[in-house]
Amino acid sequence: MTAFDQRLVTVFNVGSLTFGRGAALRCAEDLAAAGAASLFLVTTPPTRGLCAPMAARLEALGVRVTIWDGLAGEPTLAEFDAALAAARAARADMVVGLGGGSAMDVAKLVAALFDGAQAIGDVIGVDRLERRALPLACIPTTAGTGSEVTPIAILGDEDEDLKKGVVSRHLVPDAAYLDPELTVTMPRAVTAATGFDALTHCIEAYTSRFAHPIADGLALAGIGLIAGSIERACNQGDDLAAREAMLLASLYGGMCLGPVNTAAVHALAYPLGGEFHIAHGVANALLLPHVMRFNLEAAPERYAAVARAMGVTEAGDDRTVALLGVDRIVALAERCGIQRHMAAFGIGADAIPRMAAAAMTVTRLLERNPRTVTGADAVRIFEAAL
């Protein structure tokens, strides 16, 4: 793995971060004080009801609120275009994303591209976005993506059956509000899937070829929080202590994505979401153990540290301990009710060659993997997950 002192690392932090119960109402006060007149709020149908208290408070403070919830699932280019048109029709002067990663990612891009200086096709990739046109705040209702603090937004390209990313410091929101009370209504399956997304962020950041001490402590802390809280959050949704721990872990994972980012798990997961519309966190959970086993030889000491953060206490060499950690992740996924085989989603062996080919195009993530992944390696990993 590359020595951290040989690389230049830049961290772009969210302007302000408010964490705790009641944070969403604080957001309304702050936006009104900042001079919002026409607020465009991006959400989804399942989370629209969570917008009501904040919207009512904003309107009482004299702010006009337009709520847009036109997302059917993980966002597509077409849905983004619809959101952008609605924001322009509302003459928005501020944007808020309230929901999971889908709502926040669309809000980030609406705020960025509102003025028409660039189109979405101009900014897909790394550092192609020149500026953000409108002020932006994000409020997560899931504990998974960490999008409220990341420089990343992901959209699905339906023509190519692949997810595409925009990465830019201009996507980091001006403010983030993390309120665990907004996460208690998450269904068990969503809690599990988004929790495994956060777990994957932390593991991939810590074991990355570009791992760095700036992110290492956050990543290990996030792994420990998830290992100790995800089952309680799944089984007792109103356990606010568990919800707070999961939201904090998700935040830690998000804070790792800017300076380090993810790697092969996410790259290989993109075709599962793009072509087969498997939820992102579930796709990560499907592939995580298999990619970890593949990567282990490149960084056994790092994967052993992951295992210990997961709660493995057995003695042994790094490889032995690391494999125990992988087994613990598999068992945790089973206890949380996450499906572990692609075949359960109707994916057959015939799909593997094209999925592998699509995954190999995600070079911005594959280059960060601790072990080089070839096309043949990708095929074998998919076969193991079948």
Per-residue model confidence as pLDDT tens digits over 310-364: 999 999 999 999 999 999 999 999 999 999 899 999 999 999 999 999 999 999 9
Q: 87-98 pLDDT, tens per residue?
A: 999 999 999 999
Stretch(es) of the chain classified as CATH 1.20.1090.10: 188-385
**pLDDT reading at 4 higher than 60:** no
Q: What is the pLDDT of residue 9?
A: 86
pTM higher than 0.75 for the full model? yes
Stretch(es) of the chain classified as CATH 3.40.50.1970: 16-183
Class of the CATH-defined domain 188-385: mainly alpha
Q: How far apart are CA 71 and CA 270, in angstroms?
A: 19
Q: What is the pLDDT of residue 6?
A: 60
Q: What is the pLDDT of residue 111?
A: 98
Q: What is the pLDDT of residue 12?
A: 92
Q: What is the pLDDT of residue 175?
A: 98
H helical segments located in the chain: 23-33, 48-60, 77-89, 101-113, 120-123, 188-207, 213-235, 240-257, 264-276, 280-295, 300-309, 318-335, 352-359, 363-366, 375-385
- Per-residue pLDDT averaged across 178-206, rounded? 97
Q: 103-123 pLDDT, tens per residue?
A: 999 999 999 999 999 999 999
H helical segments located in 61-148: 77-89, 101-113, 120-123
**pLDDT reading at 5 higher than 70:** no
**pLDDT reading at 282 higher than 90:** yes
Local structure of 161: helix, strand or coil:
coil
CATH fold of 16-183: Rossmann fold (3.40.50)
In the chain, the percentage of residues whose pLDDT exceeds 90 is: 92
- List Cβ neighbours of 37 (8 Å cut-off, separation of 6 or more): 62, 63, 64, 93
**pLDDT reading at 3 higher than 70:** no
- Per-residue pLDDT averaged across 50-58, rounded? 96
